Amino acid sequence: MRLKLDIDPDLVAMMQAEIKAGEKAVTGAMREAGAGLKTAWRGQITGAGLGRRLANSIRNATYPKAGESLNATALVWSKAPVIVGAHNAGPLIRSRDGFWLAIPTEAAGKSLRGGRITPGEWERRTGIRLRFVYRRRGPSLLVAEGRLNTKGRAVASRSKTGRGRTTVPIFLLVPQVRLAKRLDLARDAERAADAVPGRIVGKWVERKAG
């Protein structure tokens, strides 16, 4: 008994076309998933009031960068992972040296280097010494003897009579603080991942129908 197997060239071409359609479908679906997740994360960040600049730190890329593949993948990440990760996790923050965390009040103003001003920088800028005030209830304070300017910032008093001089709370001192969890990035990532199979099938069928 002899068996003869012939491979129809049309069958080979059909399989190759099917693989090509699959590669395009998978790659297209991953590109859409990555772009959609980037948009969703950026929307969460701006919606939480964290600003457009932080939202724009979210980037995405699809691999391979050129061509199509059945193993195409999408990567979405942040160029500011520490900040975004903190708002996503809501961690408990303690002082590095085990003492106090200094939380600036409105009267402290802002740092010239960006972010929150520190007690040391505040003293150097204003030339005013801070004084520690312990409170049994509520946070302790670092206060300054001065006056408030028109912007509500504490500055040195120039009055020789002491007119307008007051004790101004500059920093609140707390042993620890829990950062509020303002983001849920995993929620959008899971939604994007769950939608991938449907995207692939839809694009595959669409290409076959076309």
Indicate the average pLDDT of the chain: 85
Give the count of domains, the chain.
2
Domain co-membership, 26 together with 98: no
Q: What angle do CA 132, 133, 139 make, to 5 degrees?
A: 110
Domain co-membership, 34 together with 107: no
Backbone angles phi, psi at 47, to 5 degrees: -65, -30
Is residue 5 domain-resident?
Answer: no
Domain co-membership, 100 together with 163: yes
Is residue 7 domain-resident?
Answer: no
Give the structural domain span for 131.
Answer: 92-178
Given a contact cutoff of 8 angstroms between Cβ atoms, the answer to whether 104 and 88 are in contact is: no
Quick: pLDDT tens for 84-105: 998 998 877 776 666 788 889 9
Is residue 160 domain-resident?
Answer: yes
Is residue 6 domain-resident?
Answer: no
3-state secondary structure of 104: strand
What is the token pair recorded at 177? 């603080």
Q: How confident is the model at residue 39 (pLDDT cuts 50, 70, 90)?
A: very high
Domain co-membership, 77 together with 96: no
Q: What is the dihedral of CA 79, 105, 184, 176, to 10 degrees?
A: 100
Given a contact cutoff of 8 angstroms between Cβ atoms, the answer to whether 87 and 80 are in contact is: no
